[in-house]
């Protein structure tokens, strides 16, 4: 299940239709999962009934190869059904979160998932009791076990970092305490902090929040942007010492666990859980640093186009092209997407048509529908997309982005057995942003003689690259630094964090932007700093996608073939090997260099248009 970052627009809730009034052809068809709620109930009960027998299998793995096979297959069969139950309840709940019966259904499914986790918690520790020699003899005795070899190997890879049973139990029991930094931050940030009101473009007083802040920062009215920026940071400034303490707790949690598990660093511990070598992270940071001059150039151009004497941090998100976004209705967007994706070959396009024609998408916003956009689904369902449609360019991009995720799910589940039919986040964002990059190429070509549209599209691309590659790497660099500093014994005080963050920000954006004192506090409000080395994947994903899209659009059919092989691979191999099959070696810096070359070309083109 993959999510694109949510976009909470200040919607006028009153005007939205109720769920029951949305035309059926604009809703997703969940009867393809279960004809009725009764069938959901049947599967639910059947999963529930297998839980005691799953628990009973505990202690059997070391007995025989046949026992390992039975346990593995019993567990996977239940997991597969559980996923279907879970997805159905989740999608039903998301389409109208005010509906009591589906709230209850979703809560039930979540509880069942937790029970399943508890009933199978013994599996990995018990598997780890089997040594290499035993596993070799198991594979010989029961060749069918080889179908699950990669699954087992992923657990065995952690072997040297697993501690004695007693220590593992203590660590697991203290997990709530370990995550208290993150929890306290969440409560403060989502509930207790209260923000003042700000005057918007139309002179209305609006209540500031994280979501509203993002929208106000894109305002073309500078006073609105400045006010939002200053007022937001006034609030965080009052709590900066508390927020430094919650972040410190979180960093110490990662460093402590990495240390007791004998990893070299918290970074290595986090990345090894997803089979990514640290080199991938290091390459990203060093390559982005080598190309910061491109971001400096873009920021300087921004200053020139906006015509301001001083460019402030609150001037970085407003579109450079005045006027409204080009209008794209949902029907037009589907046509554009199909046309742009022709380069993927007829088979891919046919699957996209299936998505468009068979109600795999929940299109319009209705009252109490979950905000944002995502692609979801599981092995035994088709992929589903949730949207909150608006007729603009951004939504066209969202449609093609989520379609990228959905096609990835489709190809993986149709070409892999259940155990390898899913994929990790590291490779997921590549499929979605490859589609985005293909769309950019397509639109730039289509509007090559239309300077106004070209400006709009290039601006959209450059801002996207800034936000995805540069900004997420800035976050990644900050994350790495604070973990290293804590490991060295440096106290992470608010003052220390402010100073470093402001310096880092200046390094990224360059001399054209004023180093506003408020920006030093940005670290205090970013929830991603609690995710444990997660955001770098947005940057690596977008950069890899730039290369892949360029290969597909400008290269021969062989590139499409390789790309489809990546989609078909699911999780049957490590993320790095899967991407190698697609033609990108993410342990090397070349793919990043190519992404920067494309960014530079488009920056040149954009510059010429002014």
Q: Does 4 bind Zn ion (CB under 5 A)?
A: yes
Give the nearer residue to Zn ion in terms of CB position, either 313 or 535. 535
Give the distance, in angstroms, between the CA of residue 555 and the centroid of all CA atoms in the same chain.
28
Please report how close the Cβ of residue 471 comes to Zn ion at its closest, in angstroms.
Answer: 16
Query: What are 114's two structure tokens?
Result: 């937790």
Give the interface segment with Zn ion, choosing from 171-179, 226-234, 431-439, 530-538 (CB under 5 A): 431-439
DSSP letter string, 315-328: GSSS-SS-SPPPP-
How far is the C-alpha of 192 from the C-alpha of 213, rounded, in Å? Answer: 17
DSSP at 513: B
| 228 vs 427 by CB, closer to Zn ion | 427
CB 127 within 8 A of CB 62: no
Residue 312 in contact with Zn ion, rule: CB under 5 A? no
Compute the least distance from the CB of residue 331 to Zn ion, in Å: 23
Q: Distance (Å, rounded) from C-alpha 591 to C-alpha 64?
A: 46
Q: Please, which residue, 2 or 381, has the CB nearer to Zn ion? A: 2
- Residues that contact Zn ion, how many (by CB under 5 A): 3
Selecting among 355, 365, 402, 479, the annotated active-site residue is: 402
Least CB distance from residue 386 to Zn ion, whole Å? 12
Tokens 């054209």 correspond to 512
H or E element, residue 4: strand 2-4
CA 288 to centroid of chain Cα atoms: 20
Whichever of 523 and 566 has its CB closer to Zn ion, that residue is 566
Q: Contact between 408 and Zn ion (CB under 5 A)?
A: no
As beta bridge partners, residue 79 has none
Q: Which stretch binds Zn ion (CB under 5 A): 62-70, 115-123, 283-291, 432-440?
A: 432-440
What residues form DSSP beta bridges with 311? Answer: 513
Instruction: Determine whether 402 is an active site residue.
Output: yes
- Residue whose C-alpha is closest to residue 250's, from 239, 238, 258: 258
Q: Which is nearer to Zn ion, 311 or 548 (CB)?
A: 548
Q: How far is the CB of 307 from Zn ion (least distance, A)?
A: 35
Tally of helices (H runs) and strands (E runs) in the chain: 26, 6
Binds Zn ion by CB under 5 A, chosen from 219, 227, 432, 537:
432
Tokens 């979950």 appear where?
Answer: 370
Among the listed ranges 4-12, 176-184, 266-274, 541-549, the one in contact with Zn ion (CB under 5 A) is 4-12
* Tokens linked to 47: 């999963």
Task: Report residue 508 CA to chain centroid gap.
Answer: 23
CB of 5 vs Zn ion, minimal distance in Å: 8
Residue 2 vs 419, nearer CB to Zn ion:
2
Cα(126)–Cα(54) distance, integer angstroms:
14
Closest CB to Zn ion among residues 3, 392: 3
Closest to 314 (Cα-Cα) out of 194, 449, 219:
219
Which is nearer to Zn ion, 405 or 602 (by Cβ)? 405
Burial 240-250 (b: 16+ CB within 10 A, else e): beebbbbbbbb
**What is the C-alpha radius of gyration for the chain, rounded to an integer number of angstroms?**
25
379 secondary structure, DSSP code: T
Nearer residue to Zn ion within complex by CB, 381 or 432? 432
What minimum distance in Å lies between the beta carbon of 4 and Zn ion?
A: 4
Q: Which is nearer to Zn ion, 2 or 569 (CB)?
A: 2
Minimum distance from residue 521 beta carbon to Zn ion (Å): 28
- Residue of 372, 413, 415, 362 whose CA lies nearest to 394: 372
Stretch that binds Zn ion, among 130-138, 156-164, 200-208, 430-438 (CB under 5 A): 430-438
Q: How far is the CB of 92 from Zn ion (least distance, A)?
A: 22
Q: How far is the CB of 2 from Zn ion (least distance, A)?
A: 5
The answer to whether the CB of 152 falls within 8 A of the CB of 127 is yes
Binding span for Zn ion by CB under 5 A among 291-299, 383-391, 428-436, 470-478? 428-436
User: Could you say which residues in the range 351-370 bind Zn ion, by CB under 5 A?
Assistant: none
Q: Which long-range contacts (CB under 8 A, 24 or more apart) does 474-478 make?
A: 474/504, 474/505, 474/508, 475/526, 475/528, 475/529, 475/535, 475/536, 476/281, 476/284, 476/285, 476/533, 476/535, 476/536, 476/539, 477/285, 477/504, 478/504, 478/523, 478/529
In the complex, minimum distance from the CB of residue 391 to Zn ion, in angstroms, rounded to a whole number: 21
Please answer whether residues 282 and 298 qualify as being in contact, where contact means their C-beta atoms are separated by less than 8 angstroms: no
Contact window for Zn ion (CB under 5 A) among 2-10, 124-132, 226-234, 474-482: 2-10
Q: How far apart are CA 564 and CA 402, in angstroms?
A: 17
- Residues with a known catalytic role: 402
Binding site for Zn ion (CB under 5 A): 2, 4, 432
């Amino acid at each position: 299940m993959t999510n694109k970052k949510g976009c909470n627009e200040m919607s006028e809730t009153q005007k939205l239709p109720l769920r029951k009034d949305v035309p059926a052809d604009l809703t997703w068809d969940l009867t393809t999962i279960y004809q009725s709620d009764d069938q959901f109930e049947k599967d639910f009960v059947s999963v529930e009934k297998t839980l005691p027998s799953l628990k009973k299998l505990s202690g059997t793995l070391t007995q025989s190869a046949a026992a390992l096979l039975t346990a593995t297959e019993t567990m996977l069969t239940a997991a597969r059904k559980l996923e279907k139950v879970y997805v159905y309840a989740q999608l039903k709940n998301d389409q109208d979160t005010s509906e009591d019966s589906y709230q209850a259904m979703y809560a039930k499914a979540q509880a069942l998932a937790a029970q399943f986790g508890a009933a199978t918690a013994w599996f990995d520790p018990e598997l780890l009791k089997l040594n290499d020699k035993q596993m070799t003899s198991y594979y010989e005795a029961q060749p069918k076990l080889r179908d699950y070899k990669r699954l087992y190997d992923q657990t065995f890879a952690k072997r040297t970092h697993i501690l004695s049973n007693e220590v593992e139990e203590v660590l697991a029991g203290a997990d709530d305490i370990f995550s208290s930094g993150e929890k306290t931050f969440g409560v403060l940030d989502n509930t207790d902090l209260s923000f003042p009101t700000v005057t918007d473009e139309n002179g209305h007083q609006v209540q500031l929040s994280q979501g509203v802040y993002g929208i106000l920062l894109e305002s073309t009215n500078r006073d609105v942007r400045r006010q939002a920026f200053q007022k937001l940071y006034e609030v965080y400034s009052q709590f900066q010492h508390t927020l430094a303490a919650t972040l410190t707790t979180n960093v110490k949690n990662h460093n402590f666990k990495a240390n007791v598990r004998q990893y070299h660093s918290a970074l290595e511990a986090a990345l090894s859980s997803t089979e990514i070598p640290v080199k991938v992270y290091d390459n990203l940071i060093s390559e982005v640093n080598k190309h910061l001059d491109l971001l400096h150039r873009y920021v300087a151009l921004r200053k020139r186009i906006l015509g301001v004497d001083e460019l402030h941090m609150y001037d970085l998100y407003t579109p450079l092209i005045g006027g409204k976004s080009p209008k794209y209705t949902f029907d037009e967007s589907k046509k554009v997407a199909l046309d742009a994706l022709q380069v993927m070959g007829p088979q891919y396009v046919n699957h996209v048509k299936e998505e468009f024609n068979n109600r795999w998408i929940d299109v319009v916003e209705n009252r109490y529908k979950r905000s944002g956009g995502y692609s979801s689904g599981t092995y035994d369902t088709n992929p589903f997309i949730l949207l909150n449609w608006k007729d603009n360019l951004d939504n066209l991009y969202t449609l093609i982005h989520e379609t990228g995720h959905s096609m990835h799910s489709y190809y993986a589940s149709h070409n892999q057995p259940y155990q390898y039919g899913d994929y990790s986040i590291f490779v997921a964002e590549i499929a979605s942003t490859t589609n985005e990059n293909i769309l950019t190429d397509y639109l730039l070509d289509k509007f090559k003689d239309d300077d106004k549209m070209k400006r709009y599209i290039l601006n959209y691309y450059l801002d996207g690259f800034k936000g995805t590659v540069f900004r997420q790497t800035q976050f990644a660099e900050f994350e790495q630094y604070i973990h290293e500093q804590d490991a060295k014994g440096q106290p992470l005080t608010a003052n220390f964090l402010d100073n470093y963050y402001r310096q880092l920000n200046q390094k990224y954006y360059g001399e054209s932007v004023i180093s506003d004192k408020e920006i030093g506090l940005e670290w205090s409000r970013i929830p991603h700093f609690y995710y444990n080395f997660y955001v770098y994947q947005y940057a690596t994903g977008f950069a890899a996608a730039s290369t892949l899209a360029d290969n597909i659009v400008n290269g021969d059919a062989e590139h499409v073939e390789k790309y489809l092989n990546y989609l078909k691979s699911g999780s049957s191999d490590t993320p790095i090997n899967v991407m190698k099959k697609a033609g990108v070696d993410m342990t090397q810096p070349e793919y990043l260099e190519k992404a920067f070359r494309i960014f530079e070309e488009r920056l040149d083109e954009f510059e010429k248009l002014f």
